[in-house]
Structure 1
Amino acid sequence: MDKTIQSSFENLLSQDKDLQYEAYNHILASTKEEVDWAYDVWEQLKLDLTHSDNHRRSRAA
């Protein structure tokens, strides 16, 4: 996983909602084509599907 994508996933946890939104859009745009980092984040995404934060659940889905 490149540093830009890794940074975007970290920014999803930021308190700054604008930064979260920008990170989410960047991740979403990068998935328009096949990515090589899907399994790097797979376990965290699975955990986030049942997270108490509805935003994290939504993003994971």
Structure 2
Amino acid sequence: MNEQTRRECIKALAYGRSRDEVCAVMDVPMEALNDITEKEIIQQRNYLKKMGYMP
């Protein structure tokens, strides 16, 4: 998985999508998503809230 795909997966997870759904839509293996930490997801969620993209 390249860096752009990784960032998009983190963003999708931050928006609350399930890992199964992200795998299917982004066409990435579950093993690749398992490398994404909860800390990365929380940081992205906080950023999206700060920027006004999430309530």
Range of TM-score over shorter length: 0.3 to 0.5
TM-score (norm 2): 0.35
Higher relative contact order (Cα pairs below 8 Å, separated by 6+ residues)? 2
